[in-house]
Amino acid sequence: MRFCLMCLLLLVFMLPQGTVTAQEKETLATAEKKPHSPHRATLYSMMLPGLGQVYNHKYWKVPVIYAGIGVIGYVGITNRNNYLKAKEAYIYVSNGEDYPIDNDLVGKYPAEDLIVIRDYYRRNMELSWIVMGLWYALNVIDATVDAHLFDYDVGENLSVHLEPVLNLPMQRSAFGPAPAAAGLQINVRF
């Protein structure tokens, strides 16, 4: 019985000793804010148009980007179809073939006019694809610039104030009264 009591006392005094330690440094869990990466925004926007804007939390720009892509794509495809139609009509008219063709340009225009029409639609088709490339580049540039300005703070102290001013002359000129000068006053506060 004495032995059991002694073991129990030893266990009671030994167990807390392992869990109780000296004072530890208490650190608050502070979430370190990762810096916003312009490089990442650029890569995202290059991989998928609009993804860089999502990374920059500018969600409203995504529909604008895809609307531009859709409109430019529609114009490009329409011009391509008209180009192919004019090209087919020119080939038919220049060969002088007799079989009927399902093309409304045949019989309406001579071969010289069909060349002009074909070149017109080809030019517009190519311009559409160039504009599509520029729209894509603008998307990437916008994401990059937005990422660079992501942490820029526009505080309450920054303001621009415009107001019209009418300057009346204080002195008389040798030739008579000086005319009043109208202007625009710009006040910028930082």
Q: What's the rounded Cα separation, in Å, for the pair 7 and 15?
A: 12
Q: What's the rounded Cα separation, in Å, for the pair 56 and 64?
A: 15
Name the token pair of 110.
Answer: 């001579």
Residue 144: name the closest of 23, 14, 37 by CA: 37
Mean model confidence pLDDT for the chain: 85
Question: Residues 50, 54, 56, 58: is their CA dihedral positive or negative?
Answer: positive
Q: What's the rounded Cα separation, in Å, for the pair 186 and 190?
A: 13
pLDDT of residue 118: 96
Give tens-digit pLDDT for 11-45: 666 665 555 555 666 666 566 778 889 999 999 99
Between residues 49 and 184, which one has the greater pLDDT?
A: 49
pLDDT of residue 113: 93
Give tens-digit pLDDT for 117-171: 999 999 999 999 999 999 999 999 999 999 999 888 767 777 788 898 887 777 7
Domain extents in the chain: 36-150
pTM: 0.64
Give tens-digit pLDDT for 40-68: 999 999 999 999 999 999 999 999 999 99
